[in-house]
Chain A
């Protein structure tokens, strides 16, 4: 319990820093630390799968994205150009936010113990899925439709990001080109880290059926490895109009949808799996979905096309 109190104090302190820091860059660094501390909280709440996602995606990839944005948008306006909210506004916002917090705190204190739970039903039917990690079973079997729609949401976000490109660079390469000293530390780190990271990413994906891990965590690690390699100038993003790139992006959702439709014929419902082949089908979905998610996440971080295609 002492550890938990200390952890909560740290989380709240870092969160207050993230809101209160003067410099945006410092606030983003605070946010990365906030995400890593939240990952510890998730471990304490017996949710290691969520902890991995929080550390990799919530802290790592989001942090990287925001760090990039904060340096690119830095020093655009002097402090004088920014309107400071008035004292009355400040007070009203403080009162409103305190009320929201108090309301949520009251809900937490009034919560039923033990809370209504689907855990027994999730465990009762897990043998039929061929998986032994209940969280993966929820994602890939019980609530597979949520996961299918989520892969589509990721694609829609990428379409949104790409459509913000200027007309003259459409079809070009996403993001700026990173130049790094080929004998520098960044290049060296990328050369050592990326092969190991790719292996770890594949392992995290593979082990997800029986232990904490899964396609989202694995795909995030794979995307992060691509980002590191591109920051070191070892790889560059392909032009967004490349056919193989488009195929890699839609392979996961498309195959997911196709197997879902096949469920009507072989198991009597959308996204239903016949019990004897459930694990095989789930694996057939997971491999392309991991590939598609990793590609989408990396391209979301890279941003819209900024460099004109080579003629």
Chain B
């Protein structure tokens, strides 16, 4: 097994772990956290594809690597927006959890 495959399997487990947290945690902040964990796994899978495409004297294919950089920035922007939405929910209702209306 090569290093690339090892990290690829790691990314597969990370996506599963994050998805589990996303479904099971009732607090939205933990869901945001779990979602970022899934993101880390997906980006890593891209990195493995890039690594397996090493050619022309490069350690990896630069195109997926650049895509991941773009993805990281967009993931941060989405996280900031989600956190702001959650803070506003807390301001309005005094709660930071998602619950069915009583």
Interface set of A (CB-CB < 8 Å, partner B): 1, 4-5, 8, 11-12, 15-16, 18-19, 24, 27-28, 31, 34-35, 38, 41-42, 44-47, 49-50, 53-54, 57-58, 61-62, 65-66, 69-70, 72-73, 76-77, 81-85, 89-90, 93-94, 96-98, 100-105, 107-109, 111-120, 122-124, 134-135, 137-139, 142-143, 146-147, 150, 153-154, 156-158, 160-161, 164, 166, 214, 216, 293, 297, 300-301, 303-304
Contacts and interface: CB of A to CB of B under 8 A. Distances in A.
Closest 10 CB pairs of A and B: A46-B59, A117-B53, A101-B16, A108-B8, A157-B77, A104-B12, A138-B66, A19-B21, A115-B52, A134-B62
Given A45-B7, A73-B29, A62 B79 contact: yes
A123 B48 contact: no
Contacts of B62: 118-119, 122, 134-135, 137-138
Given A65-B79, A108-B8, A111-B49, A160 B95 contact: no
Given A50-B68, A93-B24, A73 B37 contact: no
Contacts of A69: 29, 83, 86-87
Contact of B17 (A24, A90, A97, A214): A97
A147 B44 CA distance: 20
A111 B52 CA distance: 9
A164 B91 CA distance: 11
B97 A76 contact: yes
A57 B72 contact: yes
Given A89-B24, A98-B16, 13 more contacts: A8-B7, A19-B37, A41-B10, A45-B59, A72-B90, A76-B97, A84-B26, A104-B15, A119-B54, A120-B56, A150-B74, A156-B77, A216-B69
A18 B2 CA distance: 28
Given A101-B13, A108-B48, A139 B33 contact: no
Contact of B84 (A38, A53, A57, A164): A164
A12 B14 contact: yes
A300 B51 contact: no
A101 B16 CA distance: 5
Contact of A114 (B36, B53, B75): B53
B66 A65 contact: no
Interface of B: 2-21, 23-27, 29-30, 32-34, 36-37, 40, 43-45, 47-63, 65-70, 72-81, 83-88, 90-91, 94-97, 99
Nearest to A66: B33
Nearest to A124: B56
**Would you call the interface of chain A mostly helix, strand, loop, or mixed?**
helix
Nearest to B52: A115
A15 B73 contact: no
7 contacts: A4-B6, A45-B47, A93-B20, A100-B16, A150-B70, A166-B91, A216-B73
A65 B101 CA distance: 29
Q: Which of A28, A65, A146 has the most CB of B within 10 A?
A: A65
B75 to A, nearest CB: 7
A52 B18 CA distance: 23
A76 B90 CA distance: 8
Given A62-B79, A76-B90, A19 B9 contact: no
B28 to A, nearest CB: 9
A111 to B, nearest CB: 6
Given A19-B21, A101-B12, A108-B5, A304 B33 contact: no
B82 to A, nearest CB: 9
Given A61-B76, A105-B9, A118 B84 contact: no
